[in-house]
Amino acid sequence: MVRSFDGRAVDQEELATLCAEALRAPSAGHSAGVRLNIIGPERLGEFFTVATDATWREHSTRFAGLARAGAGVLVSTRPQDYAARYREADKESAGLGETGAWPLPYWHADAAMATMALLLLIEEAGLGAVIWGAFRHVGAVLDWAGLSDEELFGTVLVGHPDGADRPTSSNARRVPPRAERVRRLTR
């Protein structure tokens, strides 16, 4: 993840192409309920005003670097598309025709897959990116973006890294090695 950008704009056509490619990710029942909404560099200031608050912007050690992103992508989902798809004849036997019936809301899984695909494509294109979770001001961001009938999964900030990014303190946290988190199930 890159959290400090140099302020150069990201080519909007290139980003749109990367977003379209990222949507090749799996989609439960081909529900196609994930949306990738591009925020051009001219609107990123508005986005940060809506998505954060003045106190955070004043005290965050990362805000200045994030604010220099060259574009953003709001990853949103339409749970109603999943419910509608699973009310169709070939899927209705699953019993998932209402959003509350899903034990795991696959719109979140599909959004995660599309986001991961987008992050990899951005990296491959020689750009940098960071996923910024939807933890605060979600309703305000959705209203600002005109997406009131969707759910916000997160935001991908995209740009040209400036080389001034500091590693996150999370990197110092001890986690089990990857090999220990892979298991072979035998009986």
Structure tokens at 89: 């004849």
Using the structure block, give the residue that is written with the tokens 């995209």: 158
Q: DSSP letters of 120-177?
A: HHHHHTT-EEEEEE--SSHHHHHHHHT-TTSEEEEEEEEE-B-S-PPPPGGGGS----
Structure tokens at 122: 């951005």
What CATH fold (topology level) applies to the domain 12-162?
A: NADH Oxidase (3.40.109)
User: Which of 96, 76, 78 lies closest to 86 in space, CA to CA?
Assistant: 96
Assessment of whether the complete model's pTM goes beyond 0.85: yes
- The helix/strand/coil state of 65 is helix
- pLDDT (tens digit, 0 to 9) for every residue of the chain, 187 residues total? 999 999 999 999 999 999 999 999 999 999 999 999 999 999 999 999 999 999 999 999 999 999 999 999 999 999 999 999 999 999 999 999 999 999 999 999 999 999 999 999 999 999 999 999 988 999 999 999 999 999 999 999 999 999 998 888 888 899 999 999 999 999 8
